[in-house]
Amino acid sequence: MQEGVDLRPGSSSSLILNPGRFDFEVSECFLLGCPLGLVLAMRRTVLPAVQVSQLRPACTQIFNLFYPSDPSASRLEPLLEPLFHKLPPFPMPRYQRYPLGDGRSTLIVSVKHLENCK
């Protein structure tokens, strides 16, 4: 951390330097069920003078992962670029029982069971 550290008693993380910036560069940002789309849409409604499409993130890539049935998560792309409303969201494959895709379990218990059966 740098100089100028603010110690706040009663906080779980008592070292606060600058809550608006990180001490490192962020290249990718992963949003998992994040309500940022709703916040930006509300900002557009409440503050019509602020152009949401002019807001740019301080990172290279944003990955917005959400369930379509999640009431607090939404798409960001149409808010940032109006032409993106024509593109459907890209469906991500769900986690499967066998994550390597070969039909075999990666659990140690399963491996031990297979060794005992030989």
| Token pair belonging to 37 | 């789309």
DSSP state of 99: T
Report the pLDDT value the prediction gives residue 43, as an integer from 0 to 100.
79
Count how many Cα atoms sit within 13 Å of the Cα of residue 113 in the half-sphere of its side chain: 7
Spatial separation of the C-alpha atoms in residues 51 and 77, rounded to whole Å = 14
Predicted confidence (pLDDT) per residue in 15-47, tens digit = 555 567 778 888 898 988 888 888 888 877 787
Average pLDDT value over all residues in the chain: 73
Predicted confidence band of residue 2 (pLDDT cuts 50, 70, 90)? very low
Predicted confidence band of residue 14 (pLDDT cuts 50, 70, 90)? very low
